[in-house]
Amino acid sequence: MRSLKEYQTVTNISGPLMMVEMVDEAKYAHIVDIELADGSIRHGQILQVERDKALVQVFEGTSGIDVERATVRFLGRPLELGVSRDLLGRVFSGLGAPKDDGPAIIPDKRLDINGRPINPFARDYPNEFIQTGISTIDGLNPLVRGQKLPIFSGAGLPHDKITAQLARQAAVLGKEEEFAVVFAAMGITFEAAQFFIDDLQQTGAIERAVMFVNLANDPAIERIATPRFALTAAEYLAFDLDMHVLVILNDMTNYCEALREISAARKEVPGRRGYPGYLYTDLATVYERAGRIKGKTGSITMVPVLTMPEDDKTHPVPDLTGYITEGQIILSRSLHRKAIAPPVDVLPSLSRLKDKGIGEGKTREDHADLYNQLYAAYAHGKEAQELATIMGEAALSDEDRKYMAFADRFEVRYIGQDYYENRTVEQTLDLGWELLSMFENVELKRIDVKLIEKYMPRFRSKKEPQVDEQNTADAGTAEGTE
């Protein structure tokens, strides 16, 4: 190994950035170690080099760095993660250092955490249905292997419970394969992280998990590296060790804030709400690492979680995420208030890869028509609900009233389920038919007549009234129209 040069030429510190001068071998995006006067080490990455000046972002922050006495070592390599099968079951810091009391990892190889883009021609199309046991996902927004499907949440909404449920239940139908969960925590609370870890521990899934944890009180700039560590581990597990990996990135809003901080310190022209203009591209280099590759067994399925500031979907973080991911699961505060859990806001949620993963031979032939119909009916019902709040129920037509009753029932029975309830996809589909049985065939415009004839009778013949408490009156009229 060549000897590393040391420099004591830090000239300038501003925010998380540091300028080192009279350097003669700085390379773009390589990393440095910074030794402080007290002997402690910090880590940095070169953001820009011009002649003999290197601009360095310091992951742990610059507070306490003494311009006079800091020593900078240029390591001559990008940020790397040493990988081996022993990553499984381990907990690391946001910068990839072991954080549990386990031994150091003896790596098979060291990988640049930035990875390399998957050649689009090498991709294999995600089309294997993952049963999550959650009706709003399996029935309406099916997740497939290799997909990136974020959860758009808001402060105080139960996204942690949903991700834990996903980690617990997600399985591909009829397959016993090696799977793993990679969890990257970025700026979340100790409590939230611990909840997730405990949950995995209870089910034993912890053995198959790798965690990279940067908590709310950990250095903010470190968060820029955390998802990249996680994805490097995931790529190794998926494409070298043939595992099916579920990656959960929580919370991407905190990640973006760290990027914003760097951008501001560099005095870059800010984009919307102060986020840098390259936020889209940067997020893409994270999210696009999900996928399947031709000729390889493993896959990376990604569920990024983000909190929408003020529940605003047009905020740059959810907006740009939505532009990259393959759909989104949006949580609804109003359902949460109604104590309907998991509070998935069905109408604006969408899985874009659903069509390839469902249907005959995958889930069931009626799946696509069924979700189209459920959507349409629920949308109609929600519209009626809105109308009713503005003008009073009296203003509604009989038809509107019927759809409103449907929407209420749908929320309680279909959307609502227990966090430990693992519904099979058949149960979810049948539940859909049962709820639709209050409509006449003509009204089910989106379902093929043959499918209605095949699946509906079972639920129509069940004549014992399928009524839930709050909708007794409405349900009566609905059935009466038949």
Ligand X SMILES: Nc1ncnc2c1ncn2[C@@H]1O[C@H](COP(=O)(O)OP(=O)(O)OP(=O)(O)O)[C@@H](O)[C@H]1O
> What part of residues 351-390 is at the interface with ligand X (CB under 6 A)?
352
Q: CB of 159: closest distance to other proteins in angstroms?
A: 19
Q: Which of the stretches 43-51, 98-106, 194-202, 299-307 binds other proteins when contact is defined by CB under 8 A?
A: 43-51
Choosing among ligand X, other proteins, none, which partner's interface includes residue 277 (Cβ < 5 to 8 Å by kind)? other proteins
Nearest residue (CB) to other proteins, 133 versus 357: 357
What type of residue is 152?
F
Q: Which of the stretches 326-334, 336-344, 408-416, 459-467 binds other proteins when contact is defined by CB under 8 A?
A: 326-334
Backbone angles phi, psi at 79, to 5 degrees: -65, 130
Q: Which of the stretches 5-13, 280-288, 334-342, 414-422 binds other proteins when contact is defined by CB under 8 A?
A: 280-288
Q: CB of 270: closest distance to ligand X in angstroms?
A: 23
Q: CB of 323: closest distance to ligand X in angstroms?
A: 5
Nearest residue (CB) to ligand X, 150 versus 322: 322
Identify the residue among 199, 251, 326, 430 touching other proteins (CB under 8 A): 326
Q: What is the total count of residues that contact ligand X (CB under 6 A)? A: 4
Pick from 348, 311, 315, 358: which is nearest to 154 by CA?
311
Surface-to-core class of residue 11, CB atoms within 10 Å of its CB (0-12 exposed, 13-18 middle, 19+ buried): exposed
Identify the residue among 2, 3, 39, 50 touching other proteins (CB under 8 A): 50
Q: CB of 301: closest distance to ligand X in angstroms?
A: 17
- The span from the CA of 425 to the CA of 131, in Å, is 7
What type of residue is 115?
G
| Tokens coding 372 | 């189209």
Q: CB of 412: closest distance to other proteins in angstroms?
A: 21
Question: Helices 226-235 and 279-287, interaxial angle, to 10°?
Answer: 30
- The span from the CA of 133 to the CA of 164, in Å, is 12
Identify the residue among 289, 401, 402, 409 touching other proteins (CB under 8 A): 289
Nearest residue (CB) to other proteins, 227 versus 316: 316
Pick from 22, 28, 10: which is nearest to 51 by CA?
22
Task: State the greatest distance between any 2 C-alpha atoms of the chain, in Å, as a whole number.
Answer: 86
Restricting to residues 118-157, which ones interact with other proteins according to CB under 8 A? 118-126, 146
Residue of this chain nearest to ligand X (CB atom): 352
Q: Is 454 in the site for other proteins (CB under 8 A)?
A: no
Restricting to residues 149-208, which ones interact with other proteins according to CB under 8 A? none
For residue 355, say if its preceding peptide bond is cis, omega within 30 degrees of 0.
no
What type of residue is 26?
A
Q: CB of 13: closest distance to other proteins in angstroms?
A: 20
Q: CB of 123: closest distance to other proteins in angstroms?
A: 4
Identify the residue among 352, 362, 413, 460 touching other proteins (CB under 8 A): 352
Q: Is 376 in the site for other proteins (CB under 8 A)?
A: yes
Choosing among other proteins, ligand X, none, which partner's interface includes residue 9 (Cβ < 5 to 8 Å by kind)? none
Choosing among ligand X, other proteins, none, which partner's interface includes residue 94 (Cβ < 5 to 8 Å by kind)? none
| Tokens coding 186 | 């970025």
Q: Which of the stretches 174-182, 217-225, 242-250, 371-379 binds other proteins when contact is defined by CB under 8 A?
A: 371-379
151-153 and 299-307 beta bridge pairing: parallel
Restricting to residues 392-451, which ones interact with other proteins according to CB under 8 A? 395, 397, 441-442, 445, 449
- The span from the CA of 360 to the CA of 152, in Å, is 30
Surface-to-core class of residue 130, CB atoms within 10 Å of its CB (0-12 exposed, 13-18 middle, 19+ buried): buried
Identify the residue among 19, 36, 105, 284 touching other proteins (CB under 8 A): 284
Coil vs helix vs strand at 230: helix
In 386-442, DSSP assigns E strands to none
Pick from 254, 86, 245, 88: which is nearest to 167 by CA?
245
- The span from the CA of 329 to the CA of 55, in Å, is 39
First to last CA, the chain: 82
Q: CB of 322: closest distance to ligand X in angstroms?
A: 6
Q: CB of 145: closest distance to other proteins in angstroms?
A: 12
At residue 64's C-alpha, the angle toward residues 62 and 69, to 5°, is 100
C-alpha 72 chain-centroid distance: 36
Restricting to residues 293-322, which ones interact with ligand X according to CB under 6 A? 322
Q: What is the total count of residues that contact other proteins (CB under 8 A)? A: 78
- The span from the CA of 191 to the CA of 197, in Å, is 10
For residue 316, say if its preceding peptide bond is cis, omega within 30 degrees of 0.
no
Q: Is 446 in the site for ligand X (CB under 6 A)?
A: no
Q: CB of 155: closest distance to other proteins in angstroms?
A: 20
Coil vs helix vs strand at 247: strand
Q: CB of 12: closest distance to ligand X in angstroms?
A: 40
Identify the residue among 125, 190, 323, 420 touching ligand X (CB under 6 A): 323
Write out the residues near ligand X by the rule CB under 6 A: 322-323, 350, 352
